[in-house]
Amino acid sequence: MGKAIADDDAGPVTRGMRDGALSAEKADAVVTGLAHLTDRVNLSEEKRAKVVGALLVQTTPARVPVAERDDLNAMTMDRTDDGRVAVTLDLDTLAAEELWAALDPLTRPVPEPDGSEDTRSAKRRRADAVTQVVRTYLSHSDRPESGGVLPEATLPTRCVVGEFHIDVGSAPHGAARTHPVGLISRWR
């Protein structure tokens, strides 16, 4: 390191160490690399400065663009005052592309039963698509368990239950004209 401080061409190394941008190990690697070259090849001062610059570049890790950093991925789920849940996602480009690929077929407009255009907004179609992905995932038994049991979402609500019958027309031998088919529920 003493040689690096005395060498005018290694000035960027000493400045980097002084600023804290360059560790002692990396500075030593640059100085050792420069010494290795100068022992074998006669370099002009200009070429020595270029070698130092090139070696310093090698000590600096390539910066990953913010858009590609998966360590910044975040998701929030907050219950609003009216009981709904607001979700926000902040994803890197790869995770976002995977999400788009999964949701794209599910977010396309679907014609109404009468053939008219889909009346749902794009936001609503995306929300419906996420809901469908979650329901599909929850319907499979090979998903991870939570606390030793498969997760289950239960939504308590009140409902009115009643029996309904269908008319089967004239029944032979005096049988009943209506047949209980099942129960119908009306949600409140």
Same domain, 77 and 54: no
Regarding pTM above 0.95, the answer is: no
Coil, strand or helix at 74:
strand
Per the domain annotation, does 176 fall within a domain? yes
Same domain, 124 and 88: yes
Listed in sequence order, the residues at least 6 apart from 181 whose beta carbon sits closer than 8 Å to its beta carbon are: 164, 165, 166
Average pLDDT over residues 117-134: 94
Per the domain annotation, does 27 fall within a domain? yes
| Cβ atoms within 10 Å, residue 39 | 7
Same domain, 54 and 84: no
CB 10 within 8 Å of CB 53? no
- In angstroms, rounded to a whole number, what is the distance separating the alpha carbons of residues 136 and 106? 12
Same domain, 9 and 36: yes
The larger pLDDT score, comparing residue 165 to residue 80, is at 80
Overall number of domains in the chain? 3
Same domain, 7 and 41: yes
Q: Has residue 125 got a pLDDT over 70?
A: yes
Same domain, 87 and 106: yes
Per the domain annotation, does 181 fall within a domain? yes
pLDDT of 13-66, one tens digit each? 877 777 777 788 888 888 888 888 888 888 888 888 888 888 887 777 667 788
- In angstroms, rounded to a whole number, what is the distance separating the alpha carbons of residues 185 and 136? 24
Containing structural domain, residue 73: 68-138
Find residue 77's DSSP bridge partners: 87
